[in-house]
Amino acid sequence: MAHEHRTFRIYGRVQGVFFRQSAKQEARLLGLTGYARNNDDNTVTIEAEGPAETLNKLAAWCQHGPSTAKVERVEEAVGKVQGYTEFEVRR
């Protein structure tokens, strides 16, 4: 099955609400690789790789995130596969 790379930028109340750690748990449950990190503008970036169907599930999750988050919008872009071997939280 072909792997894809997607970058999600999540806006709203997404820092200080365990968004990155929850994204890591969700991505690992889905079998995806990549990372989640906070940005200086109070957004969160998730880069993830895996099958398109599974990335679509992560995209749907990003629309709401963990129960403590308040997602306003999500920007999504397709990129070049980087070959991540696990999913991690970055600072």
- Catalytic residue numbers, as ranges: 20, 38
Is the CB of residue 36 less than 8 Å from the CB of residue 71?
no
Q: How far apart are CA 78 and CA 87, in angstroms?
A: 18
Q: How far apart are CA 39 and CA 46, in angstroms?
A: 10
